[in-house]
Amino acid sequence: MNTVEHKIQNTSPPPPHPLPQGEGDSFDIPSPSRGEGEGGGGSLNLFLRPLFIALWLALLFLPFRGLKAAVILFIILFAAVSLLKAFKNYAGKIKGGLNGDSDHYFINILRIAVEIYGRCPYLEKLPESKARSTVFILLMSVIVLTLPFYGHDYLIDIAVLSGIYIILAQGLNIVVGFTGLLNLGFAAFYAIGAYSYALLNTKLGLGFWASLPLSLMLVTLSGFILAIPALRLRGDYLAIVTLGFGEIVRLVLNNWDSFTKGPNGIGGIGPPHIFGMRISGIGQFYYFVLIFALLAVFVIRRVAASRIGRAWIAIREDEIASSSIGINTTAYKLYSFAFGAFWAGLAGVLFAAKMQFVSPESFTFMESVLVLCMVILGGLGSIPGVILGSIILVMLPEMLREVQLYRMLALGSGLVLLMIFRPQGLMGGKGVSFRG
């Protein structure tokens, strides 16, 4: 970490650099002031404040978990606070470079970055915000697509699990984020998808592609069946009914020994095959899940922008007003439940194919709570936010594995702070409110 800090503090921007334009334009990048760069008081301040913050919190933590855990917490906090402060200072330098003669300073830096790899005339035509997001998407795409080439198997395995949870959370986002219906038993659809594929594969000998449509049809039908009696209720009562449905499914899977093998679970599930090639390696399965995750995001975005998606949002905002303008609220709620269950079933099938084993312990009430936290953390109704929330809540337990007794404490504290300071979520979705 000290090496990274040293590079951040002592790397001065290059001298005025002529950008190779057809018309001979050039853009000057100003150098930082003395107090912010090397040799000033900012360097000492950048080091001491994170040190004191991390040391103070580690000392408070010491009586509860001992010296080893306190040292680990100190290192993590010091690294995190130092990195955030360094980025804040660096952002201040860029902001300080803005002046009246260069209103588009940031877009000029982006152009320089792009022209390292070749001229990009398309970027020239875009506004600043659009160009910034375009470059960010391109960089993230390169990182995601090349992850198996530079990442360890452990990191790739976490990424695969993140992809499955992204699909699962996007399904819940349809019900909770777009339609405003609180579902506390969403893990039931996840379980139905996983167990249906496991039973079709192990008992009937059907492969992945033959079992997939049957499993998705069964899960979608389950969503319809639950929605018919549940949609007569609202608010807390609807949440209790969905919670009961989730527990019923879990108890059936746990106690029907002759069919589901009870708490022992079902093993020996076959992995998927494509053109006769067995997808068993973690790198191969990464791309397999990535394709389904991209498909889920694309389809849900299209549906959210369609007439059905606008009807869902209208129901979320005011159900009575939606009914008064001719929206069939009952039918659209049924569509929401069934469509969300469809993606939960797909996530369950992928989970069973990856693990090659399923048991009721993977589909408890806490699983539903975890998925709901992903949606709320990212932002209700925000598709990019749900992706971010899923990645954070899958990676966070792995980062806090050394202090696993306090993982749920950290998660709960983070969500409480989020609800206080940013109730709309990280990506600015709909604020957390479920009308009765």
Reported as a single tens digit per residue, the pLDDT across 357-371 is: 999 998 999 899 999
pLDDT digits (tens, 9 = 90+) for 359-405: 999 899 989 999 998 998 888 888 989 999 899 888 877 777 766 66
Q: Is 357 helix (H, G, I), strand (E, B) or coil?
A: strand
- Does the pTM surpass 0.85? The reply is no
Categorize the per-residue pLDDT at 18 as very low, low, confident or very high, splitting at 50, 70 and 90.
Answer: very low
Q: Name which residue leads in pLDDT, 420 or 17.
A: 420
Pairing of β 273-274 and β 277-278: antiparallel
Taking CA atoms, 172 is separated from 95, 140, 175, 307, 327, in Å, by 39, 25, 5, 19, 22
For residue 271, the 8-state DSSP code is: P
Categorize the per-residue pLDDT at 191 as very low, low, confident or very high, splitting at 50, 70 and 90.
Answer: very high
Give residue 309's identity as a one-letter amino acid code: G
What does 274-307 look like in DSSP terms, one character per residue?
ETTEE--SHHHHHHHHHHHHHHHHHHHHHHHTSH
Categorize the per-residue pLDDT at 7 as very low, low, confident or very high, splitting at 50, 70 and 90.
Answer: very low
Categorize the per-residue pLDDT at 193 as very low, low, confident or very high, splitting at 50, 70 and 90.
Answer: very high
Categorize the per-residue pLDDT at 15 as very low, low, confident or very high, splitting at 50, 70 and 90.
Answer: very low
- What is the C-alpha to C-alpha distance for residues 132 and 249, in angstroms, rounded to an integer? 46
Lowest-confidence range among 33-47, 230-244, 251-265, 290-304?
33-47
Backbone torsions φ then ψ of 145, nearest 5 degrees: -70, -25
Structural domains in the chain plus CATH codes: 2-130 (no CATH), 145-421 (1.10.3470)
Q: Is 6 helix (H, G, I), strand (E, B) or coil?
A: helix
| pLDDT value of residue 76 | 78
